[in-house]
Amino acid sequence: MSEEYEYDDEEVEYYAIRPNKTQIKKDMAALFALSEEMSELSAGQLKTLELPEVINKAVVEVSGMPHKGARKRLLKFIAGQLHKIDADPILEKLARIKNKSAHAVREHHIVERWRDRLIAEGNDALTELLDEQPHADRQLLRQLLRNAQKEAEAGKPPKSSRLLYRQLKELFQVEGEVDDEPEFEDEEDID
C-alpha cells in the first residue's frame, strides 16, 4: 500500500453545525405573533404573565401605538427579547388567560339561555332551575322573573331582565366555585 491512501486518525476534521435558518425564521415569527398577542392584553392580564421589566414596558408601549412601522419595529424588539429568554412559561400563562376568557364566554351564553328560557317558559323553567340549583334564592328569582315578564309584555326597558341576568350569573359563579373546591374523603387528607 502506498502512503497516500493511509488515513491519519489524528487529523479528523469537525464541521460546525449551523442552525437551520428556516427554523430560526419560524421561531421568530412565532415570537412576533406572541408579542402581538401580548399587546392586546389588558394591564391586569399582562401582570399575570410576570414578564421581565424591559419586555413589560415595551408591550405596554406597543399596545397604544397605531399599526404603522414603529409598532412593527417595537414588536420585533419584543420578539428579540423573548428569544433571549425561555418563552414557554409565558405561553402557558397566556393559554390559561385565553381559557378563562373562553370559559367566561361559555358561562355568559349559559346564563343568557337560562334567562331567556325563564322569561319564555315561566314557572316550569324556574322549577327546573331550582332543582338544579338548590341554594338559589327562590323568592328573589320569582320576583325578578315576574317583573321581567311584565316588562316584556308591556314593551318597557328590560331592567328586571338585566337584574335577573345578574342574579343568574352570580348563581352560576357560586356553583363554579363550589365545584372547584377539592373534595376530601378522609379527614387525614386535610392535614
The reported pLDDT for the residue numbered 175 is 60
The reported pLDDT for the residue numbered 13 is 72
**What is the SS3 assignment for 58?**
helix
Q: Summarize the confidence of residues 60-65 as an average pLDDT.
A: 89
Q: CA 92, 55, 91: angle at the middle one, nearest 5?
A: 10
Which regions of the chain carry the CATH code 1.10.60.30? 100-178
Who contacts 148 (Cβ-Cβ below 8 Å, separation ≥6)?
A: 115, 118, 119, 158, 160, 161, 163, 164
As a whole number of angstroms, the distance between CA 112 and CA 102 comes to 15
The more confident residue out of 150 and 101 is 150
Q: Given pLDDT bands bounded at 50, 70 and 90, which one contains residue 61? A: very high
The answer on pLDDT for 82 being more than 70 is yes
The reported pLDDT for the residue numbered 87 is 87
Q: Summarize the confidence of residues 74-86 as an average pLDDT.
A: 92
8 A C-beta contact, residue 62 and residue 75: yes
Q: For residue 47, what are the CA distances in angstroms to 38, 44, 90, 138?
A: 11, 5, 11, 40
Averaged pLDDT of the chain? 82
Task: Please report where in the chains the cell 408591550 appears, as a residue.
Answer: 59
Q: CA 125, 127, 131: angle at the middle one, nearest 5?
A: 115
Q: Residue 34: CA atoms inside 13 Å, Cβ hemisphere, count?
A: 26
The more confident residue out of 46 and 12 is 46
Q: Is the dihedral of CA 30, 35, 37, 38 positive or negative?
A: positive
The answer on pLDDT for 184 being more than 50 is no
Q: Given pLDDT bands bounded at 50, 70 and 90, which one contains residue 191? A: very low
As a whole number of angstroms, the distance between CA 32 and CA 39 comes to 11
The reported pLDDT for the residue numbered 186 is 43
The answer on pLDDT for 59 being more than 80 is yes
The reported pLDDT for the residue numbered 78 is 93
In the CATH hierarchy, which top-level class contains the domain 100-178?
Answer: mainly alpha
The answer on pLDDT for 19 being more than 90 is no
- Taking CB atoms within 8 Å and a gap of at least 24, the contacts of 145-149 are 145/118, 145/119, 148/115, 148/118, 148/119, 149/119, 149/122
The reported pLDDT for the residue numbered 160 is 86
The answer on pLDDT for 7 being more than 70 is no
The answer on pLDDT for 73 being more than 50 is yes
Q: Is the dihedral of CA 156, 158, 164, 167 positive or negative?
A: negative
**Interval 138-180: pLDDT, tens:** 899 899 989 988 988 888 888 888 998 888 888 887 665 544 4
- 148 by Cβ neighbours in 10 Å (0-12 / 13-18 / 19+) ranks as buried
139 phi, psi to nearest 5 deg = -65, -45
Q: Which of 96, 103, 48, 39 has the alpha carbon at shortest distance from 72? A: 39
